[in-house]
Amino acid sequence: MSAHVPSDKSLLEVQDLKIYYPIHAGVFLRHVGDVKAVDDISFDIRQGETLGLVGESGCGKTTVGKGIMRLVDITAGTMDFTRRNGETVDLVPLSRGEMRPIRAEIQMIYQDPYSSLNPRWSVGDIIAEPMRVHQPKLTLAERDEKVAWLLEKVGLTGEQAHRYPHEFSGGQRQRVGIARALSTNPRLVISDEPVSALDVSIQAQVINLMQDLQEEFGLTYLFIAHDLSVVEHISHRIAVMYLGNIVELGPAQRVYENALHPYSQALLSAVPLPDPSLKRPDRIALEGEVPSPLAKPSGCPFRTRCPLAEPSCAEEVPKLQELETDHFVACPIVARTG
């Protein structure tokens, strides 16, 4: 669990967000349906916290990150972001031009440090690129100085600015990706599986670096991952996604030690608990495949694989309910039976 204590003020408040990818088919490319990648989710990210976002492949995690960055079209919903100057703006209706200054405050660290850095650019140019866009008034000398400072902040050296990505290891490249993300002094950093392409031995170093930088610069992270043990270590709160919906959201330790939603329990049942006196419920084996987001089941998206499912689960999509302080679960059966 992260030692750093975040504030309870929202930096980003997402309400009823839907992101559907339209599917076109046939000679006339008629609109034949939608991939409901994000299907009506609400959550907030609080100033200075790390919100972990977990779930199986295809459940919509990257789409949430791209939605916040406005890299994909938003189907519905609002995303209220509080800027450095204190102003709160809904990102959804903003034009590209209106979004540009805000982009400096929201940056992304990508999964693959091998493909996300331009191999023909020096590391210094890669790190300076966002500054060229967002702080065009900086002189060359000021930019060089900031690049050297950023390289040192991520555990590299200023002289390495002249080197090229292929001269660095995977972990070092991800440090370069982090330096690039920090070059515009962002408030919110979305990191999409930032360590999953790295050797396990390197993962902890990069996570520790991210935690140190969070404390030093008061950063807020949306940390996307498959690996629950990684998320538990860095997150203050965890949101669990299933097929475009958030099924559980709560303090990291509570979700990790006492997951309430049957899907979260299944995801977690493979992860050992740090304290051996605690015991997880017996392992829940998930039956069947994740249904396609093109043809989601009616009602609760998890009901086709859920050990608790009842006929009424087909009727409506369950809403998140607060079952203990700040711990929300979208399952009326769990809510009823405790």
The nearer residue to ligand ATP, 66 or 134, going by C-beta atoms, is 66
How many other CB atoms are there within 10 angstroms of residue 272's CB atom?
8
Pick from 10, 50, 62, 203: which binds ligand ATP (CB under 6 A)?
62
Contact, 76 vs 23, CB < 8 A? no
The nearer residue to ligand ATP, 37 or 147, going by C-beta atoms, is 37
The nearer residue to ligand ATP, 21 or 217, going by C-beta atoms, is 21
x-marked contacts with ligand ATP along 97-126 as a string, rule CB under 6 A = ------------------------------
**Residue 191 touching Mg ion (CB under 5 A):** no
CA-CA distances (angstroms) from residue 168 to 118, 173, 179, 181, 225?
Answer: 13, 6, 14, 18, 24
- Residue 104 CB contacts under 8 Å (≥ 6 apart), including other chains: 130, 134, 135, 184, 185, 186
Stretch that binds ligand ATP, among 24-32, 58-66, 99-107, 232-240 (CB under 6 A): 58-66
Task: Name the minimum Å distance from CB 167 to ligand ATP.
Answer: 28
The terminus-to-terminus CA distance of the chain in angstroms comes to: 25
Stretch that binds Mg ion, among 62-70, 171-179, 290-298, 303-311 (CB under 5 A): 62-70
DSSP-derived 3-state class of residue 200: helix
Stretch that binds ligand ATP, among 4-12, 59-67, 173-181, 313-321 (CB under 6 A): 59-67
As given in the structure block, the two tokens for residue 28 are 């006339």
Give the residues across from 299 on adjacent strands: none
The nearer residue to Mg ion, 54 or 131, going by C-beta atoms, is 54
**Residue 62 touching Mg ion (CB under 5 A):** yes
**Residue 58 touching ligand ATP (CB under 6 A):** yes
Residue 44 burial by Cβ neighbours in a 10 Å radius (0-12, 13-18, 19+): middle
As given in the structure block, the two tokens for residue 225 are 């991952």
Task: Name the minimum Å distance from CB 80 to ligand ATP.
Answer: 22
Tokens 């009842």 appear where? Answer: 310
The nearer residue to ligand ATP, 59 or 109, going by C-beta atoms, is 59
**Residue 17 touching ligand ATP (CB under 6 A):** no
The nearer residue to Mg ion, 183 or 191, going by C-beta atoms, is 191
Q: Among Mg ion, ligand ATP, none, what binds residue 172 when CB lies within 5 to 8 Å by partner kind?
A: none
Pick from 37, 178, 188, 206: which binds ligand ATP (CB under 6 A)?
37
How many other CB atoms are there within 10 angstroms of residue 137's CB atom?
5
Stretch that binds Mg ion, among 56-64, 235-243, 277-285, 292-300 (CB under 5 A): 56-64
Distance separating alpha carbons of residues 300 and 298, to the nearest angstrom: 6
Distance separating alpha carbons of residues 50 and 52, to the nearest angstrom: 6
Q: What is the DSSP letter of 243?
A: T
Q: How many residues does this entry show for the chain? A: 338
# binding residues, ligand ATP (CB under 6 A): 13
**Residue 59 touching ligand ATP (CB under 6 A):** yes
Residues that bind Mg ion in the complex, under the rule CB under 5 A: 62
